[in-house]
Amino acid sequence: MTILGETAVVTGAGSGLGRQIARALLSAGYRVVLAGRRAEALKETAEDSESALVVPTDVADPASVEALFGVVRRQWGRLDLLVNNAGVSIPGTVDELSYEDWSATVAANLTGSFLCAQQAVRMMKEQEPQGGRIINNGSISAHSPRPASVAYTATKHAITGLTKSISLDGRAYGVACGQIDIGNAATEMTERMSAGIPQADGRIAVEPTFDAEHVASAVLYMASLPLDANVQFMTITATTMPFIGRG
């Protein structure tokens, strides 16, 4: 069960899944640091909660990430949970995607998760009692790509490697690391699915979605475990989305 007063950092907390996850943690009694690039959006997520702390952050910037975790140290003295949720999706095939769009995707999705995990693990190793948990937002794309998604898919495959490495290296320090792979949760990012999106066979098809609150509940379950137990990988999808089998 969640201990009242445990501290969490949620990146990408200004909208979508990050907002849902942050609010679920606040409702469960966590003190939550809301990180993201847009201060006003983060304030909307906080809903004036006294347990929420808004810290505008660019996760791709090492200095900005270091400053974020410096605030956590000064404000609450320890970190129990990091949810690496921030990310972007820029469409394009390998021959069409610009270097700039590739670099921006890698910076936000992969480098940002690395930088936040780096700071989190340092805190978790130093604090007393030692340890904590990191939950990385992977994606269905960590298993299988969509058409024209080379940068997003590559970074989400890389998140799986990051998760495994942190999980292994964190064992000696009570640091647990798991990953949640999500398919078609209803957010601003998936609104376009209602009009139809490209499929592997060239068709345009409407895809089903599911309530993003279920993702927040799943993350809350992962976070509620004692540190001697870990959900290494969880996949949560719309039941009838074209993922398993041939569609």
Using one digit for the tens of pLDDT, what is the confidence trace for 174-218? 999 999 999 999 877 667 777 888 888 889 998 899 999 999 999
Is residue 244 one of the residues assigned to a domain?
no
Is residue 243 one of the residues assigned to a domain?
no
- Cβ contact 101:93 at 8 Å: no
Q: Look at 103 and 5; give whichever has higher pLDDT.
A: 103
pTM of the predicted protein model: 0.95
Is residue 242 one of the residues assigned to a domain?
no
pLDDT exceeding 90 applies to what percent of the chain?
A: 87
Active site residues: 152
Is residue 160 one of the residues assigned to a domain?
yes
pLDDT at 132: 98
pLDDT exceeding 70 applies to what percent of the chain?
A: 97
Q: Going edge to edge, which strands form the sheet with 31-36?
A: 52-56, 31-36, 7-11, 81-84, 132-137, 175-183, 233-237
Q: Strand 185-186 relative to strand 204-205: parallel, antiparallel, unpaired?
A: unpaired
Alpha helices (H) along 30-171: 39-46, 62-76, 99-105, 112-126, 150-169
Report d(CA 120, CA 114) in Å as an integer. Answer: 10
Is residue 101 one of the residues assigned to a domain?
yes
Residue 164's contacts (CB-CB under 8 Å, 6 or more residues apart) are: none
The residue range of the domain holding 34 is 7-237
- Cβ contact 2:29 at 8 Å: yes
User: CA 159, 160, 162, 165: dihedral to nearest 10 degrees?
Assistant: 180
Instruction: Convert the pLDDT of each residue in 20-35 to its tens digit.
Output: 999 999 999 999 999 9
Question: Pick from 49, 38, 33: which is nearest to 16 by CA?
Answer: 38
Q: Look at 242 and 161; give whichever has higher pLDDT.
A: 161
In sign, the C-alpha dihedral spanning 207, 25, 22, 223 is negative
Report d(CA 133, CA 79) in Å as an integer. Answer: 9
Is residue 247 one of the residues assigned to a domain?
no
Instruction: Convert the pLDDT of each residue in 62-91 to its tens digit.
Output: 999 999 999 999 999 999 999 999 999 999
Q: Is residue 141 predicted with pLDDT exceeding 80?
A: yes
Question: Pick from 6, 7, 34, 31: which is nearest to 20 by CA?
Answer: 34
Q: What is the CATH number of the domain that holds 134?
A: 3.40.50.720
pLDDT at 247: 64
Is residue 140 one of the residues assigned to a domain?
yes
Is residue 246 one of the residues assigned to a domain?
no
Report d(CA 79, CA 66) in Å as an integer. Answer: 14
Tally of CA atoms within 13 A in the half-sphere of 71 that contains its CB: 18
Least confident of 64-68, 165-169, 239-243: 239-243
Domains held by the chain: number: 1
